[in-house]
């Protein structure tokens, strides 16, 4: 494997994984704090992207980075206050179901406001273009060049020397930066501040916290709003890296559940590990064009379309890439049911 390809794919995988982590961290937070599995979490991500699109049209991308998470967090908090809280007394299943209903409503509302086709939400001009270029030459090895590499570096004069340039987009780097910043901020907030202490205590001893004069329902509302805002933030920076369209919630929706189960329910560190793993595995798989047919022919077996099981043998790794997270989920459940870093069974 070429090392420049490896480096770029690794970085792409890590940045995708970090985006997945931004999504699943909100989900994990809400789940571990309130015991509510928010089925509309990916819808909040979509809402974040759409709100950011509109804000970016009006006032530019940088305000959108702040406005969209606040709007989405507000929507989440209102939903918690007026719908989720009402359902709490019925138990866990209705709590899950009402978020499921919300995912339908949000999808339709987004289509009502922004239409059914993709919107043109683009990367801001300041972050457009490559962050660095890897120039790999068969003569002088690897070379890093910040931003765009000059043209004469990528075209070799000597025909015997093969030179290739691979670029890493600046926006991907920005995504990684935001995700890491968010991770540190959430961690500090939860472990080093008074609010974090109250949140953690409200989870295990709501009555005691209430007796000490804290408003526990409001804490829950803040937690839910905060989780939704994290999803909104992921939407702001994910919406223009990928495509902002009504199907975007469905594409990440089930992956983040896989992340949460694989990492171990309610474990933030587990979610971090699992999202990086899944991000990297999927990014590499998409680029690999080998199938079992190649493997067997390497071993000297001839595989023809008449061979038994040809439709399975023929599949290349890149074709299998979409199901890899789910296969991963199944394997984890068989061999380590509590998840990678989960502490409790069931």
Cβ atoms of 56 and 121 within 8 Å: the answer is yes
CA-based nearest residue to 344, from 259, 270, 274 = 270
The only residue of 29, 67, 68, 102 in contact with other proteins, by rule CB under 8 A: 102
Interaction pattern, residues 199-228, with other proteins; x per rule: CB under 8 A: ------------------------------
Q: Minimum Å distance from CB 280 to other proteins?
A: 19
Q: Which of 138, 254, 307, 343 binds other proteins (CB under 8 A)?
A: 254
Establish if 119 lies at the interface with other proteins (CB under 8 A).
no
DSSP state of 138: T
Nearer to other proteins, 166 or 282 (CB): 282
Q: Counting contacts by CB under 8 A, is residue 94 touching other proteins? A: yes
Q: Region of 309 please: left (phi>0), alpha (psi -120 to 50) or beta.
A: left
Kindly tell me which of 63 and 115 has the beta carbon lying closer to other proteins: 115
Q: Does 104 bind other proteins (CB under 8 A)?
A: yes
- Exposure string for 254-290, b = 16+ CB within 10 A, e = fewer: ebbbbbbbbbbbbbbebbbbbbbbbbbbbbbbbeeee
Q: How far is the CB of 106 from other proteins (least distance, A)?
A: 8
The one-character DSSP state at 119 is B
Are the beta carbons of 236 and 48 closer than 8 angstroms?
A: yes
Q: Is 92 in the site for other proteins (CB under 8 A)?
A: yes
Residue 191 C-beta: closest distance to other proteins, Å: 25
In the complex with other proteins, which residue's Cβ is closer, 14 or 329?
329
100 near other proteins, rule: CB under 8 A = yes
Stretch that binds other proteins, among 109-117, 122-130, 172-180, 291-299 (CB under 8 A): 109-117
CB atoms within 10 A of CB 320: 15
Q: Which of 186, 229, 260, 274 binds other proteins (CB under 8 A)?
A: 260
Q: In what order do the strands lie in the sheet with 141-146?
A: 141-146, 130-137, 163-169
CB atoms within 10 A of CB 124: 15
Q: Is 128 in the site for other proteins (CB under 8 A)?
A: no
For strand 130-137 and strand 141-146, is the pairing parallel, antiparallel, or unpaired?
antiparallel
Q: Is 274 in the site for other proteins (CB under 8 A)?
A: no
C-alpha to C-alpha distance for 166 and 291, rounded to whole angstroms = 25
Determine the size of the site formed for other proteins (CB under 8 A).
45
Tell me which of 65, 70, 78, 83 binds other proteins, using CB under 8 A: 83
Q: Does 141 bind other proteins (CB under 8 A)?
A: no
Tokens of 85: 């809280």
112 binds other proteins (CB under 8 A): yes
Structure tokens at 98: 């009402």
How far is it, in rounded angstroms, from Cα 338 to Cα 345?
5
Helix (H), strand (E) at residue 236 = helix 216-239
Q: Look at residues 248, 247, 239 and name the one whose alpha carbon lies nearest to residue 57.
A: 239
State which of positions 304-343 bind other proteins (CB under 8 A): 311, 315, 319-320, 322-323, 325-327, 329-330, 333-334, 337
Under rule CB under 8 A, residue 2 binds other proteins: no
- State which of residues 2, 108, 158, 289 lies at the interface with other proteins (CB under 8 A): 108
How many helices (H) and strands (E) the chain has is answered by 16, 3
Q: Does 62 bind other proteins (CB under 8 A)?
A: no
Residues contributing to the site for other proteins (CB under 8 A): 31, 37, 83, 86-87, 90, 92-94, 96-98, 100-105, 107-109, 112, 115, 250, 254, 257-258, 260-261, 265, 311, 315, 319-320, 322-323, 325-327, 329-330, 333-334, 337, 346
């Amino acid at each position: 494997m070429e090392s420049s390809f490896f480096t770029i794919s690794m970085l792409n995988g890590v940045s995708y994984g970090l985006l997945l982590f931004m999504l699943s961290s909100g989900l994990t937070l809400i789940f571990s704090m309130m015991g509510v599995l928010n089925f509309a979490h990916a819808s909040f991500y979509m809402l974040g992207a759409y709100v950011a699109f509109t804000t970016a049209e009006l006032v530019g991308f940088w305000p959108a980075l702040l406005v969209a998470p606040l709007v989405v967090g507000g929507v989440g908090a209102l939903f918690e206050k007026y719908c989720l809280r009402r359902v709490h007394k019925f138990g866990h299943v209705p709590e899950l179901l009402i978020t499921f209903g919300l995912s339908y409503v949000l999808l339709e509302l987004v289509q009502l406001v922004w239409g059914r086709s993709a919107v043109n939400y683009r990367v801001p001009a300041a972050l457009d273009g490559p962050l660095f270029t890897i120039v790999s030459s068969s003569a002088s090895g690897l070379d890093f060049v910040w931003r765009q590499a000059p043209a004469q570096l990528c075209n070799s004069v000597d025909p015997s020397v093969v030179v290739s340039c691979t670029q890493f987009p600046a926006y991907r780097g920005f995504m990684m930066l935001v995700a890491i910043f968010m991770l540190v901020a959430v961690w500090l907030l939860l472990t080093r501040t008074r609010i974090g202490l109250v949140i953690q205590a409200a989870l295990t001893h709501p009555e005691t916290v209430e007796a000490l004069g804290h408003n526990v329902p409001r804490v829950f509302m803040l937690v839910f709003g905060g989780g939704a805002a994290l999803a909104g933030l992921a939407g702001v920076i994910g919406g223009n890296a990928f495509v902002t369209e009504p199907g975007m919630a469905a594409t990440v929706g089930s992956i983040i559940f896989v992340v949460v189960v694989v990492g171990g329910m309610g474990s933030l560190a587990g979610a971090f590990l699992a999202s990086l793993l899944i991000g990297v595995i999927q990014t590499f798989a998409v680029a690999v064009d080998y199938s079992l047919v190649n493997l067997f022919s390497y071993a000297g077996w001839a595989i023809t379309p008449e061979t038994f099981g040809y439709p399975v043998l023929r599949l290349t790794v890149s074709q299998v890439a979409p199901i890899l997270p789910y296969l991963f989920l199944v394997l984890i459940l068989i061999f380590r049911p509590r998840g990678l870093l989960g502490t409790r069974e069931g």
